[in-house]
Amino acid sequence: MAKQYFSFKSFLVQLYNFAKLACRLFDRNTRGYLVGLFCLFCVVGNASATISKENKLKAAYLLNFTKFIKWPTEGEKKSLTSIKICVEESAEFIAFLSEMAVNPIFNNREYEVKSLKWDTTSGCDLMYVTSIKNVDAIDLQNIVIVVNSRETYFPGAAIVFYKDDEKLRFEIDLHYINSLEVNFSSELLKLAKIRK
């Protein structure tokens, strides 16, 4: 147990060092995003140890993405305060993401984290996909699709995780997000590799 704690502590130290470096490279808004991400990891450091560090980081990114994306509103509703995240992952990942979603860092919105069911995806705002599926008959309009790696092809994926020099990064398909009725913040675009 002590060994696991030490390795996670080392991971946080590395993340902190990366945030310090990023503070010198990026503007104030981007620095705020990175510091928020680091603080989130500090808060959830004692959460479930059953999922990998990489999946914990991906879970943190999924929630942080929603802070920089605006979905269209319906009727007289002027702001979207409830976000439904549909996840194709293990029960442990879903539990970890749900635990993070109730953190005060995200108190500007209510989150509903659900296991992804392919016949009901139309209710999702953000969808995290980890495998290739036949999606011909599924309505994916205005759903921000995030895939877990470049090896996981999924039509209409807006955000793709990838590794660069053993670090987790993400790229955004600018052409695809322009076809959605969804607004991506410029701060989020600055942090991503842009695919045009």
Return the CATH number at 177.
3.40.50
Q: How far is CA 191 from CA 27, 61, 137, 139, in A?
A: 11, 11, 33, 29
- CB–CB of 126/101 below 8 Å? no
What integer pLDDT is reported at residue 34 of this predicted model?
53
Which stretches of the chain score pLDDT less than 70? 1-49, 74-80, 107-108, 118-122, 133-139
In a domain, 11, yes or no: no
What integer pLDDT is reported at residue 44 of this predicted model?
45
In a domain, 186, yes or no: yes
**Quick one: the chain helix, strand, coil %, rounded to 5?**
45, 20, 35
What integer pLDDT is reported at residue 6 of this predicted model?
40
Domain that residue 154 falls in: 53-195
Q: In terms of Cα–Cα distance, which of 15, 92, 14, 6 is closest to 49?
A: 92
How many independent structural domains does the chain possess? Answer: 1
In a domain, 91, yes or no: yes
Q: What amino acid occupies position 107?
A: N
What integer pLDDT is reported at residue 15 of this predicted model?
54
Backbone angles phi, psi at 185, to 5 degrees: -65, 145
pTM of the entire structure? Answer: 0.71
What integer pLDDT is reported at residue 179 of this predicted model?
84
